[in-house]
């Protein structure tokens, strides 16, 4: 009897951005807005926001700093237990068909079915992003980490904002965790191109014209995910 030889295709490491790639909108904005609806008096803490926004626009363009300032204004000093309960409720309210792009979910499922390793790489904070990772079945989540003082939220960043060249550094760490496996990245913004141009394959989705133009020059295909 003739022996059949079967070869198993090598798995890929599929790296997905979150906001605008998997989702329809910005999850941090949704998280903060929903928190303020549940705690309306916290709006009074935002009196410093116009100055922070002006400093961002006119001086440093530091997105991580602005992100931290908003989190501290709205949630600073709250207990870990209270924020964890809120984050659990927030993520539980993210209905896949309403908050996530169907094409993105289909691509994620295709990679899962193929046996690929799934990594979520996001600039949004670890207050809730790891929960989204678990909701969608990612085996690893890398996102911006936020400082705590014991059981109280400080709100400062303890990692760099996971964006732009910082995502490129994270890519190297991810590769080291999956030695020898090829990588494919999905992102939606100009800043994602820093790491996407260093993966074995990449696809830029739902991007603006500037990012699409740069992607074409880098040989990265583009698409629109509904």
pLDDT in tens, 3-40: 333 446 899 999 999 999 999 989 999 999 999 999 99
Q: What is the CATH number of domain 13-223?
A: 3.40.50.1000
pLDDT in tens, 195-219: 999 999 999 999 999 999 999 999 9
Q: What are the residue ranges spanned by the domains of the chain?
A: 13-223
| Complete DSSP assignment for 100-162 | B-HHHHHHHHHHHHTT-EEEEEEEEETTTHHHHHHHHT-SEEEEE-EEEETTEEEEEESS--S
pLDDT in tens, 115-165: 999 999 999 999 999 999 999 999 999 999 999 999 999 999 999 999 999
In this prediction, residues 107-112 reach a mean pLDDT of 98
pTM: 0.92
């Amino acid at each position: 009897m003739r022996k059949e030889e079967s070869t198993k295709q090598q798995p890929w490491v599929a790296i997905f951005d979150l906001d605008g790639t998997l989702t329809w909108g910005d999850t941090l904005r949704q998280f903060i807005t929903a928190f303020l609806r549940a705690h309306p008096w916290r709006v009074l803490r935002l009196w410093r926001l116009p100055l922070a926004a002006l400093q961002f626009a006119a001086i440093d363009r530091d997105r991580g700093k602005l992100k931290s300032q908003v989190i501290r204004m709205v949630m600073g000093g709250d207990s870990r237990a209270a924020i964890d309960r809120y984050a659990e409720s927030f993520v539980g309210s993210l209905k896949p068909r309403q908050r996530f792009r169907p094409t993105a979910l289909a691509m994620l499922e295709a990679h899962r079915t193929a046996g690929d390793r799934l990594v979520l790489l996001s600039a949004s904070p670890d207050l809730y992003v790891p929960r989204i990772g678990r909701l969608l079945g990612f085996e690893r989540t890398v996102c911006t980490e936020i400082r705590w003082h014991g059981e109280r939220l400080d709100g400062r960043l303890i990692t760099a904002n996971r964006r732009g060249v910082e995502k490129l550094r994270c890519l190297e760490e991810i590769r080291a965790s999956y030695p020898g496996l090829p990588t494919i990245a999905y992102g939606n913004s100009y800043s994602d191109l820093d790491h996407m141009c260093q993966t074995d394959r990449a696809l830029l989705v739902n991007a603006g014209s500037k990012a699409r133009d740069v992607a074409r020059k880098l040989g990265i295909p583009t698409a629109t995910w509904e």
